[in-house]
Amino acid sequence: METRTMSRQRQARFSMTPAAVALLAAVLLVWPASTAVAQTSQTSGVIAGSVTADQGVVRAFRVKARDTVHRISYTVYTVAGRYQIFNLPPSTYDVQVIEDGFEPLVKTTTVSAGNTATVDLALTSTGVVSVSGAAAGAAAGQENYGRRARLNPAGARLVSFDELYPPHPTREIMLRSCFGCHGPAGFHNRGPMNAAGWQRAVHKMFDVDGRVANMNAGVAQITYDTVSREEETAIIQYLTENFGPGSEKRDLLLDPLVRDEQALSQAVYVQYELKRMDRPDVNGARTSGSIHSVFASLQHAGIIWVSGNGSNEIIRVDTNDLNFDTRTKEYWIDNPDNINVTPHGILELGGKVYWVELTGDHLGELDPDTGTMTRYPFPTTGAGAHSAWADSRGQIWYTYFASAGRIGRFDTKTKEFTEWEQPDGWSGYGIVVDRQDRVWAVGLHTHATRMYNQETQEWTSYPMTNPARRLTWDANGKIWAAHYYGNTITMIDPVTDEVTSYELPLKDGNPYDIWFDNDNNLWIENGIYNSMVKFDQTTKEFTYFPFPELRAHTPKLDLDPAGVMWFTLRNSSGPGIATLKPKGNVPAGRSAAQ
């Protein structure tokens, strides 16, 4: 979920002045979106054509071309009913439109170097959109990293948030302490259940052996210091009354997402399928292919490190390698207990790869040159080490997912741990380290961002309206946090201590991760709207880039040294990794930096 290191070299790259950024933008040539004739290079080809539909308007429809040999997919958006996909390796491609409500239509074509293949797609409406509410889309999307949730059946009545979760003093307790983790679609899709069922579901959060997120026993997800026993009972009653036996099937009514064709006209999603080995059973249970966080290598361009949270392994993906059979390398995490240690946050530091284990209670270290793994036991067990980030001093900072009330540090030179107590009930999530080596962290039940100044050895809290999941810092040194409930992102100015929030335009969104690009735009994952969202800091405008899959989600974003954004994402062939290049679908030789 939250992992990254920031080298001095990378810090310098993200420290460009506004004048330098403007100059870079001026010299980067981009191809006009209105160009009607596809242009090719001598080493790649193009697929182009039209998209029509017997019902409705074709507006920024997603067109995907899947390279069936190299197992890489390229997804672009239509403009005025036409599309072009540039820079495709010569191969055989399956081409289709990725939109709900149409009969499946796949056409196969061959792309040769220097040529354009024409594929026109005429869609036939089914008259039915399979996912119309928030819960189904968001919950199904999160399956790509192992979470399973029951979905409300088709035909659920779509209602406002206040009708779905009626105002009540108990709802205020839940908004304060529950929705920061579960989000606006996190409860009603679990019902209907009777009082006993809701009692089991709610009390699991307070149970030190609740095994939330498959953590070991030892630390509860939430404590009675945060939510009292009386409040726990009230929550069970509230959920039973609203989502008990016989309750009407309801789902959250969303705003329509009207796509901006011009803003999306040069964007391309590229998805890489991963060849996975037959994974042995762990502790008598089968492992899954689920993957979680990514980290773009600082030393080797095109290498992406991935935490295999469902498969008990660390994965290396060479995105420079077109060969599907050799692109992926897996490192199995052997351990005496023969369990899936659930590797989670991952980073590269000093030529080695480090990860934290949500289940295994260890911090792992891999030497890619030798394949040697070393695992260091955390001082606190059963708390679910969650996210990690490295500072410039060779130290790795981490959070615990459960309410351990601690933030920790591992010194990669001395191999020693140090942990700091946090406010009661602190359940950590995202963590980053800025250019001044100040540590910033957020927690699921805490309406504040915590900052540790390594020079003064002092902690500071910055109040926020809601708890946050993840955070980042931008080119100007501002800190940004994404609120999984509240539909907002928050900026903290460490110089003035000013805290400013920005609400996303489509209601009831669930911002998950947040990251910045070379133009100092913010990118926000928003699973309920099945989109990556761009926030332009200059214009204060939001633009939604729908994912290349119908129900997708990514738990962690990362930016490589070339300015390309990476993340995990499920596709039709299972979990893989992907990149979004907002200005990448242009003819060869004219590509923008991203």
Residues 116 and 173 in one domain: no
**β-bridge mates for residue 526, sequence order:** 511, 531
Residues 119 and 141 in one domain: no
Instruction: Write the pLDDT tens digit of every residue in 161-201.
Output: 999 999 999 999 999 999 999 999 888 888 799 999 999 99
Q: What is the pLDDT of residue 153?
A: 53
Q: What is the pLDDT of residue 132?
A: 56
Residues 115 and 213 in one domain: no
- What are the tokens at 185? 């679609």
Residue in the structure block whose two tokens are 């390796």: 89
Q: Which of 63, 91, 123 is the last residue of a domain?
A: 123
Q: What is the pLDDT of residue 148?
A: 45
* Domain annotation covers residue 326: no
| Domain ranges, residue 247 | 137-252
Residues 147 and 89 in one domain: no
Residues 114 and 182 in one domain: no
Residues 146 and 227 in one domain: yes
Q: Which of 191, 220, 252 is the last residue of a domain?
A: 252
Q: Which of 94, 123, 152 is the last residue of a domain?
A: 123
Query: Which of residues 129 and 274 earns the better pLDDT score?
Result: 274
* Domain annotation covers residue 537: no
3-state secondary structure of 115: coil
* Domain annotation covers residue 100: yes
Q: How confident is the model at residue 424 (pLDDT cuts 50, 70, 90)?
A: confident
Nearest to 219 by CA among 329, 331, 380, 96: 380
* Domain annotation covers residue 581: no
> For 482-486, which contacts have Cβ atoms below 8 Å and span 24 or more sequence positions?
482/511, 482/512, 482/513, 482/514, 482/524, 482/525, 483/180, 483/511, 484/179, 484/180, 484/181, 484/183, 484/510, 484/511, 484/512, 485/175, 485/179, 485/180, 485/182, 485/183, 485/184, 485/510
Residues 151 and 222 in one domain: yes
* Domain annotation covers residue 146: yes
- How many domains is the chain partitioned into structurally? 2
Instruction: Write the pLDDT tens digit of every residue in 353-404.
Output: 999 999 999 999 999 999 999 999 999 999 999 999 999 999 999 999 999 9
* Domain annotation covers residue 169: yes
- What are the tokens at 392? 């410039």
Q: How confident is the model at residue 315 (pLDDT cuts 50, 70, 90)?
A: very high
Residues 143 and 98 in one domain: no
* Domain annotation covers residue 541: no
Instruction: Write the pLDDT tens digit of every residue in 101-117.
Output: 999 999 999 999 999 99
Residue 182: CB partners within 8 Å, gap ≥ 6? 485
* Domain annotation covers residue 211: yes
Nearest to 151 by CA among 160, 141, 159, 165: 141
Cα–Cα distance, 297 to 233 (Å, whole number): 48
In 130-191, at which residue ranges do the beta strands (DSSP E only) sit?
157-159
DSSP string, 319-339: TT---TTTSEEEEE---TT--
Cα–Cα distance, 63 to 80 (Å, whole number): 13
Q: Look up the CATH number of the domain holding residue 89.
A: 2.60.40.10
Residues 89 and 111 in one domain: yes
Residues 85 and 189 in one domain: no
Are residues 571 and 291 in contact, defined by beta-carbon separation less than 8 angstroms? Answer: no
Q: What is the pLDDT of residue 31?
A: 31
Residue in the structure block whose two tokens are 């606006």: 184
Cα–Cα distance, 129 to 7 (Å, whole number): 46
Residues 100 and 141 in one domain: no
Instruction: Write the pLDDT tens digit of every residue in 239-268.
Output: 999 999 999 989 999 999 999 999 999 999
Residue type, 507: K
Instruction: Write the pLDDT tens digit of every residue in 134-172.
Output: 766 665 566 544 444 445 556 788 999 999 999 999 999
Q: How confident is the model at residue 130 (pLDDT cuts 50, 70, 90)?
A: low
Residues 170 and 246 in one domain: yes
Query: Which of residues 15 and 408 earns the better pLDDT score?
Result: 408
